Chains A and B, each alone.
Chain A
Amino acid sequence: MSVLIDKFDVFAGGFWLTLQICFLAAIGALILGAVVAVLRISPVPPLRALGTAYVTVFRNLPLTVVMFFAAFGLPALGSNANFLRIPGLDAVFSRLGTDLPYFRFALIALSLYTAAFVCEALRSGVNAVPPGQAEAARSLGLTFGQNLRYVVLPQSWKASIVPLGSVIIAMIKNSALVGFFGVIGDLSQTADQLTSAGGYAFIPVAIGISVGYLIMTVPLGALLDRIEKRQAVAR
């Protein structure tokens, strides 16, 4: 078990990189998922079809396949995902700005995939708002956008937040795949480094990375439980 102490800096580095990718992918997925959710509930049929198509594709493909498309498809299209080299942001998240694009590719794949689930969590919240609320808003002359902003969304987030949290927890665990698609040094790839290259026994290393993931997921789960309890009281 001495590996946990001897190589603490490697685990810590892996933890930090996984935290970075999860943080950025969560933001990406929340924004994109919100956009897709708006498409799916829009009164315009072509927009609805577009939203539905997005969810159908990304919810039903394995994340591994999406990762393959990002890691091999984007270079084939001549893209290095350089639009993610956002000045300022790449000072904090240094991997965003590197010449090696795999961090950015992984980020895109994880965001696209998770956005489909975020969309459905948000939509379930919207569906939990009684239809009479939106109907009353329409009858006052509020437009679709105003209806969402002032009437539906303020009431829907309460029903969305718990499923949304579950989606983000799943995403943190899913991020373990990125090490297999060229991202070097995230928490799960750390295990590979230490066992194959470093010659350490697998089980202690596995325990180390498990602790790393639990540090991210357990507090998030506890937070969700608290929110859920508070909602139960409010009801």
Chain B
Amino acid sequence: MADVQVAKKEAAFGFGKKERKLLVDPLNDNNPITVQVLGICSALAVTTLLDKALVMSIAVIFVCAFANLFTSLLRMYIPKQVRMIVQLVIIAFLVTVVELTLKAVDYNIYKELSVFIGLIITNCIIMGRLEAFAMANNPWRSFLDGVGNGIGYGIILIIVAMIREFFGKGSLLGYKILGPSSDFLITIPGYQPNNLMVLFPSAMFVIGVLIWVHRAWNRKLIDIS
């Protein structure tokens, strides 16, 4: 779990070094997926195709940012005994808003994502940020922290989805790029996309290798236990 950072009395809407750190940190040193290992479930299920991953990322950024904002606004008033349930209701509320909106805007994607939109609720990144950050910081910073973590999560999701869609189906966002027949951009006769890449286990391999690469490059993250 991430460290709890306590905000000092500063301008409520400033954008200095600290605010920048809130946005940038989750992209690398404190990435929700490869470092904190939160929110894996949805990362695995929706990364078979890039368009699903994009929609999911946007949804998570939205929910994470606003759940942080609302929790932070209410943090003085939330009774300690029911803290968990209150946080969950805030998240579930936002997720329902996302679900209703998506159902109205793009019914096809809504059908494809099905239960996984609902599962944003149990995306531990959001719960984790509420507990570790929003309960102790001012609304503006909490909002930035939510956006940062949402983006950090989204980036990994998009990388994984790109790898899986490209190698698994030879396409990106549905545009055919590499394949055996002439309707692909690059044609290699006899080329077969690797079906394993669109199956669940490959998500595990891809994320495992991503963690490997990330930690080999950023060696301070190596697990020494």
**Is the pairing of A and B real?**
no
